[in-house]
Amino acid sequence: MVVGAGHAGLAASHFLSARSIDHVVLERGEVANSWRRERWDSLRLLTPNWQSRLPGHRYGGPDPDGYMTMDEVVEFIEGFAKVSEAPVRTGVNVTSVRRAGDGYDVTTSHDRIHARTVVIASGACNRPAVPGFAGAVPPSPAQLTPFDYHGPDELPDGGVLVVGASATGVQLAAELRRSGRPVTLAAGEHVRLPRTYRGRDVLWWMDASGVWEQRYDEVDDLDRARSLPSPQLVGTPDRTTLDLNALTSMGVELVGRWAALRDGEALFSGGLRNVAALGDLKMKRLLATFDEWARPHDLDATVGERFAPTRVPEPARLRLDLRSGEIRTIVWATGYRPDYGWLDVPVVDSKGRLRHDGGVVDSPGLYALGLPVLRRRKSTFIHGIEDDAREVVDHLASHLAERR
């Protein structure tokens, strides 16, 4: 049994079918539900179209260098479900999975199923991750997460504090600033990337140079790799770079990480300069890796372009009175987390993370797909699922064969 009909669950289904393993994919909503229900209106993929590839199914349209809108992503994933003839049951919520005999008893909103193996493909981003002190913020400003946010028209006029400077935070800060609102962005540790490097999409370099292929068992600090924020990228037709400098040029005010809340005041870390310098340094190192890779591959031996260091306000504000009316809305772009509330098997650690080794969960016959750096650095991306799903299903098949 596969939980979830996003691209990960469908990829699992593809390889299960290829091995003639009887299975069903249970989906509480519709195919590609997260892209339909949990994303904002203007979002486009930050991965280019040519990179949208699933087992036996790839983008074949006229704009390989473009970035899909949400409708296009849904169509692409639905197309995959159709060509792979995935046995999906939609509108079926899995409410409990518990160990029973040689497998698992699965309770759903409709019935009960006994499955010898279960693949958890329920997503890594089921809920927004919001810091505990959000509950103590004064009643005004309003608070939103990316799950409630659809577009700037739904927000009250006035200032917005966007918390978090990963892909979601920078994209929402830019959109809100363009709507004419004053925007403050609280930036902690972040991953800075230019949209293009040496004339190609930066993700082309990630792909070609093999950075994305690095396996989970070769990564020095796996916990850290698994909790890295998403890169500051946006997919726009004009391939703009959306780093902190771009936001500053648009008039967004940068402050440090929101560290605490005291007497109705947001207190920001004084480390903005340091995290910005670290982001610059890591970007430089990554671009140098691309340069090194380019040389023996006969790709223009000259060194690529260099990017100006991140500009940081001097001094950056350290506090902001949330009762003053300056900020009318807080947008928490502080990350996402999975939801395993339905999983009655003791395989989730105190931080809410699934205990697994490359997708082989710490309970026989239980597997996972679609989590950060599950088996490779590319694991959570659409193009990253094929290799992971093949290998996880290989393991699942040998588990079944052993039991037989």
Ligand X SMILES: Cc1cc2nc3c(=O)[nH]c(=O)nc-3n(C[C@H](O)[C@H](O)[C@H](O)COP(=O)(O)OP(=O)(O)OC[C@H]3O[C@@H](n4cnc5c(N)ncnc54)[C@H](O)[C@@H]3O)c2cc1C
Residue numbers at the binding site for ligand X (CB under 6 A): 3-9, 26-29, 33-34, 39, 45-47, 93-94, 121-123, 125, 168, 336, 342, 370, 380-382
Element (H, E) at 202: helix 202-208
- Residue 13 or residue 33: which is nearer to ligand X going by CB? 33
- Residue 8 or residue 294: which is nearer to ligand X going by CB? 8
154, 277, 294, 402 from 286: Cα distances, Å: 38, 14, 12, 43
51, 169, 181, 343 from 116: Cα distances, Å: 34, 41, 54, 15
Q: How far is the CB of 262 from ligand X (least distance, A)?
A: 31
- Residue 14 or residue 39: which is nearer to ligand X going by CB? 39
Please give the sequence-ordered ranges of beta strands (E in DSSP) within 132-250, or none if there are none. Answer: 142-144, 159-163, 183-187, 191-192, 196-197, 200-201, 231-232
- Residue 119 or residue 137: which is nearer to ligand X going by CB? 119
Residue with tokens 């279960």: 118
Peptide bond into 62 cis (omega under 30): no
Burial class (CB in 10 A: 0-12, 13-18, 19+), 389: buried
Q: How far is the CB of 197 from ligand X (least distance, A)?
A: 18
Select from 34, 21, 140 the least CA-distant residue to 382.
34
Q: How far is the CB of 121 from ligand X (least distance, A)?
A: 5
Q: How far is the CB of 46 from ligand X (least distance, A)?
A: 4
- Residue 339 or residue 362: which is nearer to ligand X going by CB? 339
Paired tokens of 196:
């293009």
Q: How far is the CB of 77 from ligand X (least distance, A)?
A: 8
Closest residue to ligand X: CB criterion: 6
**Where would I find the H helices in 251-370?**
272-294
- Residue 291 or residue 386: which is nearer to ligand X going by CB? 386
Q: How far is the CB of 164 from ligand X (least distance, A)?
A: 12
